[in-house]
Amino acid sequence: MDAAARLAVMADPTRARIVALLRGAPDGRALVGHLARDLGLRQPTISHHMRVLREAGVVEREPVGREAWYSLTPGDAEQLADIVAAPAAAPPTPPVDLDRIADDLGARYRGVLGRDTIRRHVQESHDLLSATTGVRMLASRTSAFAASRLEAALTHDAVPAACEVLFVCTQNAGRSQMAAALLRHLTGPDVVIRSAGSEPRGEIRSTIVSALDEIGVGIGGEFPKPLTDDVVRAADVVVTMGCGDACPVYPGIRYVDWDIADPAGLPLADVRRIRDEIELRVRELAADLRPA
């Protein structure tokens, strides 16, 4: 079934609400009983709509014991779900108060960084994010991205107190996010961990969040971020996955390339296998980072 036909299937009001609930679920999946409760409908009614959505390739079914979990099919279905779930006439995006963000960061770095430096990083971070990953939560993400870059700049100019690792993949929505979350989970504050993408876009996929959550690893407030020169220079170790040519090379930095399949568009079962492969490599890296 082509994209237009699948979009028509999702245009049904009840199915559109089901898609919106799946899209907004914390782990990207739900049971028929939960959907029936949230929508105030009978389970047979929800089961009928889930069968239609599944036949159209919009959702996928994953049996777990005696239960069957449903989630959006990765790929085109997720993009179509974004269209259906979006309001027909979205309110205009409020302007981002870059001066307010710069003032708040200025208070954090008072006596360490000048106002002009902070304001420039805030503006650059805002422009990079709005050009590559869209406008969702743009203000808070601009602040977080600018703060991360400022910390990286300070690290590069000072004697590092902790080892810094940068994970880079193409979209910063899958492999690099999994690797960063896993290493953060294993090392805690002993290692400074960042991730970035050579061509970041969209959001971290629900299958990535689910695969990590299954093993007790959270993704936190992470989001796709563009690769910048300052985070590369601050790193002691740079791990690339599928984008080594896009990463600048500087002396004194250890570069490692992992040949890991891209999980984009893959079902959860395949994402789990990729997660396990990344975890093995991350554990080896964590052991290598520990002082002898």
Tokens read off for 150:
């400022």
Band of pLDDT at residue 176, cut at 50, 70 and 90? very high
pLDDT value, residue 90? 46
| 64-68, 98-102, 155-159, 181-185: range with lowest mean pLDDT | 155-159
Q: Does residue 195 or residue 26 have the better pLDDT?
A: 195
> Where are the domains positioned within the chain?
3-85, 93-159, 163-292
| Domain 3-85 top-level CATH class | mainly alpha
Q: What pLDDT, in 10s, does the model give residues 83-132?
A: 555 544 445 566 788 999 999 999 988 888 999 999 999 999 999 988 87
Q: Does residue 266 or residue 196 have the better pLDDT?
A: 196
Task: Please check whether the two domains, 93-159 and 163-292, share a CATH topology.
Answer: no
Q: What pLDDT, in 10s, does the model give residues 226-256?
A: 999 999 999 999 999 999 888 999 999 999 9
Q: Which CATH architecture has domain 93-159?
A: Orthogonal Bundle (1.10)
Tokens read off for 244:
């080594």
pLDDT value, residue 88? 44
Highest average pLDDT, of 69-83, 158-172, 256-270, comes from 256-270
pLDDT value, residue 89? 44
Q: Please tell me the CATH code under which domain 163-292 is placed.
A: 3.40.50.2300
pLDDT value, residue 78? 58
